[in-house]
């Protein structure tokens, strides 16, 4: 392996830059050149790339977003477009590819490997933490910390005014951001797509705490909940409790910002290991986190298993600690 490509795909996530940096510098140590394709798979298809050396990735470890740009690239669903991309890689002299993204991006990577014989490695990079085979994806920790900051601030105004707040967090169809934010933010309740039916329990619990004199309530709602996110859930709970409320949608604020120590660390280990795997001839792997360590996981298992189940223990804990 003489020359590797790297790209970021799907939604950007804080820590992606740290992963790019680690991959490039590991490649340099192993005598391998590295190029960065721009704007995800779209850049791969067009052959739009930049050469990446140690200096090109200086001063980026602390920056959110991705220096390579990212996109969702629907054309890549087409096998002919993938063949064109593989051909483009040959023309660019690139013989392996690291894809930083979510499971949709990995599906594209695996197809590129299966159909065109391209060596690929995946790094889970998405704030949603919805990738099978890893306990945490790059960007998740930062996104949850961003949501926590907002919740801590809302607590001040909630406590002063007695207002109830419904805070909508991202996560697409996954409730992982919502659950972790709710537990770490001491929320009065949480509503996630995987357990929408428990909304009745949330109402009951808040009613009990109100009767005991609790003044302000923060309810974290995952954007993917079937009621339609916080704007759908708020009237249901607000009406049942007959309380005034406000809805706060954190939206893309959760995607930006300086990555936390955890995200930088996970990204740095992952970026290094992805390069090492490809250089050693191991293709079709994802560098995930299991038992608090970075490990190689079979990319096909990741794609075939779909999204991991909700953390039922954390859901119970969120309910148990609301008081």
State yes or no: 142 annotated in a binding site.
no
130 neighbors 307 (Cβ within 8 angstroms): yes
Q: Which is nearer to ligand F6P, 147 or 279 (CB)?
A: 147
Beta bridge partners of 167: 220, 248
Shortest spacing between CB 229 and ligand F6P, in angstroms: 10
Query: Alpha helix locations (H) across 162-285?
Result: 176-185, 199-211, 229-241, 261-279
- Structure tokens given for 50: 């930049």
Instruction: Please report, for residues 18, 58, 110, 118, 217, the alpha-carbon distance to residue 3 in angstroms, rounded to integers and kept in the order given.
Output: 20, 20, 19, 13, 54
- The contact set with ligand F6P (CB under 6 A) reads 10-11, 126-128, 170-172, 223, 255
Which residue in 140, 66, 147, 76 sits closest to 112, CA to CA?
76
Which residue in 80, 118, 84, 76 sits closest to 101, CA to CA?
76
Q: Which is nearer to ligand F6P, 253 or 298 (CB)?
A: 253
173 neighbors 192 (Cβ within 8 angstroms): no
Q: What is the DSSP letter of 125?
A: B
- Structure tokens given for 52: 């990446």
State yes or no: 225 annotated in a binding site.
no
State yes or no: 269 annotated in a binding site.
no
Shortest spacing between CB 224 and ligand F6P, in angstroms: 7
State yes or no: 90 annotated in a binding site.
no
Q: Which is nearer to ligand F6P, 103 or 269 (CB)?
A: 103
Q: Which is nearer to ligand F6P, 101 or 133 (CB)?
A: 101
Report the C-alpha dihedral over residues 165, 310, 121, 262, rounded to 10 degrees. 50
Q: Cα 288 vs. chain centroid, distance in angstroms?
A: 13
State yes or no: 216 annotated in a binding site.
yes
State yes or no: 255 annotated in a binding site.
yes
Shortest spacing between CB 170 and ligand F6P, in angstroms: 3
Q: What is the DSSP letter of 295?
A: E
Report the alpha-carbon distance of residue 277 to residue 291 in Å, rounded. Answer: 20
State yes or no: 253 annotated in a binding site.
yes
Is 128 marked active-site?
A: yes
Shortest spacing between CB 169 and ligand F6P, in angstroms: 8
State yes or no: 181 annotated in a binding site.
no
Shortest spacing between CB 44 and ligand F6P, in angstroms: 19
Query: Alpha helix locations (H) across the chain?
Result: 16-29, 41-46, 79-92, 103-116, 140-161, 176-185, 199-211, 229-241, 261-279, 299-305, 312-321
Q: Cα 301 vs. chain centroid, distance in angstroms?
A: 18
123 neighbors 271 (Cβ within 8 angstroms): yes
Shortest spacing between CB 139 and ligand F6P, in angstroms: 8
Backbone φ and ψ of 203, nearest 5°: -60, -45
Q: Which is nearer to ligand F6P, 164 or 170 (CB)?
A: 170
Catalytic residue among 53, 78, 114, 128: 128
Q: Which is nearer to ligand F6P, 63 or 172 (CB)?
A: 172
List binding-site positions for Mg(2+). 103
List binding-site positions. 11, 21-25, 72-73, 102-105, 126-128, 155, 170-172, 212, 214-216, 223, 246, 252-255
Catalytically annotated residues: 128
List binding-site positions for ATP. 11, 72-73, 102-105
């Amino acid at each position: 392996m003489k020359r590797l490509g790297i790209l970021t795909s799907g939604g950007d996530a804080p820590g992606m830059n740290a992963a790019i940096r680690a991959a490039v510098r590991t490649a340099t140590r192993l005598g391998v050149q590295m190029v960065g394709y721009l704007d995800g798979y779209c850049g791969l298809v067009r052959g739009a790339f930049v050469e990446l050396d140690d200096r090109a990735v200086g001063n980026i470890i602390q920056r959110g977003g991705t220096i390579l740009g990212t996109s969702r690239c629907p054309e890549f669903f087409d096998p002919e477009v993938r063949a064109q991309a593989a051909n483009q890689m040959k023309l660019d002299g690139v013989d392996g590819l690291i894809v930083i993204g979510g499971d949709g991006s990995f599906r594209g990577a695996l197809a590129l490997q299966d159909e065109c014989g391209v060596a690929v490695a995946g790094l889970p990079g998405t704030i949603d933490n919805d990738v099978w085979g890893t306990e945490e994806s790059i960007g998740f920790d930062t996104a949850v910390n961003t949501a926590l900051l907002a919740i801590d601030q809302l607590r001040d105004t909630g406590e002063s005014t007695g207002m109830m707040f419904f805070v909508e967090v991202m996560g697409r169809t996954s409730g992982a951001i919502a659950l972790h934010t709710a537990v770490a933010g001491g929320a009065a309740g949480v509503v996630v797509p995987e357990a929408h039916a428990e909304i009745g329990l949330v109402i009951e619990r808040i009613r009990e705490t109100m009767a005991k004199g609790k003044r302000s309530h923060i309810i974290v709602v995952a954007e993917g909940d079937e009621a339609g996110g916080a704007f759908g859930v708020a009237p249901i709970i607000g009406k049942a409790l007959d309380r005034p409320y406000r809805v706060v949608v954190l939206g893309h604020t959760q995607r930006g910002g300086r990555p936390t120590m955890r995200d930088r660390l996970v990204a740095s280990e992952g970026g290094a290991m992805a390069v090492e795997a490809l250089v050693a001839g191991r293709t079709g792997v994802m560098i995930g986190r299991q038992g608090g360590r970075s490990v190689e996981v079979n990319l096909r298992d990741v794609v075939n298993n779909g999204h991991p189940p909700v953390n039922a223990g954390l859901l119970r804990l969120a309910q148990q600690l609301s008081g």
